[in-house]
Structure 1
Amino acid sequence: MMSDERDDMAGLRDEIDQVGRTAAKRFDPGRGALTIAVAVPAILVSMVLPWTGGHTGLDVLLGEGRAIPKIFSCGALFAGVLLSATTLAVRRWTLAWITSLALFAASISGVLSIWMTQTTTGHKPGEGPGVGLVVAVIATVLLLVKWLQIAASRPPIN
């Protein structure tokens, strides 16, 4: 009879340890989920606003304009919308770090996109960034900060 109780306790201990290991792989975004839930639609809305000259974000995504804004539009949609939504749904630490790194790359290309719309090879200034490009870059940087906070908040594993 004592052997059965020990086996039951060992099985229960293993089950509890397994639940602990599974929980250690997941995160709770807390209030950060609200920031993410606002920034993701902001990126989507920015796609219909003007980015460069008379081109909207969708135009840039589909091939109009310069190369760096095209790269940023792809990065903003991939990292800012797709990866953020997937990471928020799955809630895995590893995916939070991957999302942070992708958003870092997208943020850099976004800032470069704004800079490139203001510069030309002549003596006249460029057309400047449109409101959609600025909104997309701000939303991407906000997402970067929030995902870095979430990813870096993982408690040490004992």
Structure 2
Amino acid sequence: MSHASSPGEPTDLARLRAEIDAVEHGVLRRIEPGAKAMLVTVCVVALLVAAILPWVGDTTGWQVLLGQAAPGQRVHLVPVLFSGAVFLLGGLLSVLTLATRRWALAWASAWGCAFSTVLGALSVWTQQTGRIHDPGPGPGAGLIVAVAAVFLLTIQWFRIASSRPTG
């Protein structure tokens, strides 16, 4: 069956092409983490579990975050900064990125988690050392779990962010 060419046809094709280009642009701005999303979710849950475990002596992660150290406990500044970074960048930003599936947020999550990993390593170190080689109370189990979880998040977010199709 042949169709007669109408004068409005080029306009319709141009409109269709513009619509296809807009859809393609929207797709390229989104990520599809697939099974990696489950590992990201498990790591975020591990961060939440780490928050209720001791980080410095008897002081839990939430107490470190809120500046409420247990009596007699000295918490260095770096673990406090790490707690803020890990819960904001590792936890909240990861959840927001999974919810919106935006490629730019995936990169922000990757770099934020990488920054948090460095802070976490420094947190462990500062809890093992002190002034004039006077050791601190040492890193607690929660601090170690948080560092491990944010390290795994870093790896996953870089893998997800770099898997975006080019276009």
TM-score range, shorter chain: over 0.9
SS of residue matched to 1:51? strand
Q: The residue matched to 1:3 in structure 2 has which SS?
A: coil
Alignment match, 1:30: 34
Question: Percent same amino acid at aligned positions?
Answer: 45
Match of 1:155 in 2: 165
Q: What is the deviation of 1:152?
A: 1.3
**Contact 2:28/2:166, CA 8 A, preserved across alignment:** no
Aligned position for 2:95? 85
SS of residue paired to 1:47? helix
| C-alpha distance in structure 1 between counterparts of 2:49 and 2:80, whole Å | 17
| Partner SS state of residue 48, structure 2 | helix
**AA paired with 1:95?**
L
TM-score, normalising length: structure 2: 0.88
Secondary structure of 1:155's match? coil
1:10 equivalenced with 2:14 (yes/no) = yes
Output aligned runs, 1:55-70, within 5 Å: 55-63=59-67, 64=69, 65-70=75-80
* Alignment-derived partner of residue 97 in structure 1: 107
TM, length-normalised to structure 1? 0.93
Is 1:110 paired with 2:120? yes
Q: CA deviation at 1:15?
A: 0.9
Q: State yes or no: 1:74 paired with 2:84.
A: yes
How far apart in 2 are the matches of 1:84 and 1:18? Answer: 27
1:114 and 1:26 map into 2 onto residues whose CA distance is 36
Q: What is the identity, as a one-letter code, of the residue corresponding to 1:34?
A: M
Structure 1: gaps spanning 5 or more residues: none
Please tell me whether Structure 1 or Structure 2 has the larger radius of gyration of its CA atoms: 2
* Aligned residue pair count: 157
